[in-house]
Amino acid sequence: MRNLKIDAERLWGGLMETAAIGATPKGGICRLTLTDLDRQVRDWFRAQAQALGCRVTVDDMGAMFARREGQHDVPPIAMGSHLDTQPTGGKFDGVLGVLAALEALRVLVEAGYETHAPIEVVNWTNEEGARFAPAMIASGVFGGAFERDWAVMRADRAGVRFGDALEAIGYSGTERCGAHPLSAFFELHIEQGPILEAEAKEIGVVTGVQGIRWFEATIIGQDAHTGATPMGRRKNALIGAARLVERIDAIALARPPLAVGTVGLLEVKPNSRNVVPGEVFLTIDLRHPHTAVLDEMEAAVMQSAREVCDPLGLVCTVTKIWDEPPTRFDPGCIAAVRRAAATSGYSSRDMVSGAGHDAVYVARVAPTAMIFVPCRDGISHNEAEFSSKEQCAAGAQVLLQAVLDYDRQLAEHASVARMSEATSGAVSPRE
Ligand SMILES: [Zn+2]
C-alpha cells in the first residue's frame, strides 16, 4: 500500500485552479450554489473525472457522482464534500473534500489498483445554505431528512426557486436523489475550529457531530418613563434578558469542555433611550455531543428563565424551534480512519465536529465518518481561511487509506460469506 501516495503538488494545483472560479480580491471564493460559477466548477469537476475514465451521473437534486468501477457490483464506497461556498468563503471549506477525493481516485487509476467495491467521488449541492436555506439540502434529501418536492421549491432572496436554478445551470439529473445506495461514505474537511492546531495534531478522527437545540425567548415587562418611574416600580425586560444571558453562559461553562451556549440576537422594545424596556426577544443556541447533557442544559435554561424573571415581575416564554440530535458516526468507518492515520504516520486525535456537514445526513442511510485537517487559527467561512499544502495532502492520504481499508474489509466479509455459503451448501440436508 506504501506506493499509493497522494501527489501534494497536484492536489494543491487543483485547489488553486478551482479557486479562480469565483475568486474574490481578498483571496477567497464567492461561488454560491447553482450560479453560473457553480456550473463552471461542476463542469471542471466532470471533465477531470471523465479524463480519469469515470462515469459521472447527476441526481435530481444536482448531486454529482463520479464512479470508478470495482471488481464487484456492490454499492460504491463514496468520498466527497461540496464545491459551493459562502459569499466570502475560503478556498478549502468543502472544496478540499471533493478535490482530495478526486486526487485519491487519480492515484488508484495511475496505480491500476483494483478495488473490491466501486469508488465514487461526490459533490453535494448547496451545503452552505447561503443562497437557499436550509443548508445541506441535497444530502438532506439523500438521507431522508427533507422531501425533494419541498426542497426544490425553496427560493433565494430574489425569489428564484432551487429547482429552476438547478435546471438553468443544466445540472438537474434523472436519478432520484437518495436512490443511490452506498457501502460507506467518507468526508474530508477542514476543522473550522482551533483544536488540532493548538494541539499540533495532523488529523482529526471525527467520531460524530454535536447536537443542536435552538430556542426563542420573549420576556414581557412594562414600558415606562425612565425619569418618572422609581426603580422599585419597574418591570424592566432588559434586566431579565441580561441576567438570562449570563445564566446561559454559566450553563455551558458548567459542562466543560464540550458544552457551548450562546445568545446571539437580542431585540429590545421599544429600544428608546428614555423608555424602560417593556419587551425583549432573544435567541438561544445550545450544543453538545450527548443528548442527556442537552436535556440537562435545556432544563436549566427553562428553570433559569423562571428564576430570573419571576422576582422581576416579568413573564418569559421560551419556545424550542429546532432540535437536531447528535450524530454518531459508524464505528467501522471511524476505525478505518484511525488506522489510516496511524499507517500513514500522522498524529491524530478523536474529536466531535462543532459544525454541521453533509456527512450528518448521509450517516442516516450509510456507514459514514469524517476526517479533519487543521486550518490556521481555526478560521473559516472567511476569505482568510487557510490550510497548508502539506496539511491538505495529509488529509487526502488518510482519506485514500481509509477508503482502501474499508474496501479490504468489504472484500474479506464477501469472501467469508462465499466460504460459509459453500460450506453450508456441502452439508445441506436438502442435497
Ligand atoms: Zn463545508
User: CB within 8 A of 306, min separation 6: which ones?
Assistant: 316
Q: What is the pLDDT of residue 322?
A: 84
CA 94 to ligand 1 center in whole angstroms: 4
CA 251 to ligand 1 center in whole angstroms: 29
- Going by C-alpha positions, the residue among 80, 115, 96 that lies closest to residue 186 is 80
List the chain residues with pLDDT less than 50. 2, 428-431
CA 416 to ligand 1 center in whole angstroms: 38
CA 396 to ligand 1 center in whole angstroms: 16
CA 83 to ligand 1 center in whole angstroms: 9
- Condensed to tens digits (0 to 9), the pLDDT of residues 78-94 reads 999 999 999 999 999 99
> Cis omega before residue 87 (within 30°)?
no
Residues 298-303: contacts with CB within 8 Å, 24+ apart? 298/213, 298/215, 300/247, 300/251, 301/215, 301/247, 301/248, 301/251, 301/261
Phi, psi of 328 (to 5 degrees): -110, 120
- Going by C-alpha positions, the residue among 161, 119, 136 that lies closest to residue 84 is 136
CA 327 to ligand 1 center in whole angstroms: 16
* Distinct helix (H) and strand (E) counts, the chain: 12, 16
CA 7 to ligand 1 center in whole angstroms: 23
CA-to-CA separations, 408 to 3, 205, 267, 403, 415, in angstroms, rounded: 17, 20, 56, 9, 11
Q: What is the pLDDT of residue 425?
A: 60
CA 57 to ligand 1 center in whole angstroms: 22
**Distance, CA of 164 to CA of 35 (rounded, Å):** 11
CA 114 to ligand 1 center in whole angstroms: 30
CA 357 to ligand 1 center in whole angstroms: 6
* Helix, strand, or coil (residue 405): helix
Please count the other Cβ atoms lying within 10 Å of the Cβ belonging to residue 385: 25
CA 277 to ligand 1 center in whole angstroms: 40
**Distance, CA of 85 to CA of 125 (rounded, Å):** 11
C-alpha cell at 104: 485519491
- Going by C-alpha positions, the residue among 180, 227, 400, 220 that lies closest to residue 310 is 220
Q: Distance of alpha carbon 27 from its chain centroid, rounded?
A: 23
Any idea which residue has 431528512 for its cell? 145
User: CB within 8 A of 74, min separation 6: which ones?
Assistant: 116, 117, 118, 183, 410, 414
Q: What is the pLDDT of residue 101?
A: 98
Q: What is the pLDDT of residue 271?
A: 97
CA 368 to ligand 1 center in whole angstroms: 16
DSSP state of 328: E
Provide the strand spans (E) within 169-314: 184-190, 203-209, 211-220, 224-225, 260-262, 266-269, 275-276, 279-288
CA 355 to ligand 1 center in whole angstroms: 9
Please count the other Cβ atoms lying within 10 Å of the Cβ belonging to residue 254: 12
Cα radius of gyration rounded to whole Å, the chain: 25
Q: Which residues pair with 64 in a beta bridge?
A: 58, 123
**Distance, CA of 279 to CA of 268 (rounded, Å):** 6
CA 100 to ligand 1 center in whole angstroms: 14
Q: What is the pLDDT of residue 236?
A: 98
DSSP state of 233: G
How many angstroms separate the first and last alpha carbons of the chain?
Answer: 43
- Going by C-alpha positions, the residue among 105, 79, 343, 407 that lies closest to residue 203 is 343
User: CB within 8 A of 264, min separation 6: which ones?
Assistant: 283, 285
Residue 332 CB-density burial (10 A; 0-12 exposed, 13-18 middle, 19+ buried) = middle
CA 128 to ligand 1 center in whole angstroms: 7
Q: Are 141 and 178 in contact (CB under 8 A)?
A: yes
Pseudo-torsion of CA 119, 121, 126, 127, nearest 10°?
A: 80
User: CB within 8 A of 43, min separation 6: which ones?
Assistant: none
**Distance, CA of 81 to CA of 101 (rounded, Å):** 9
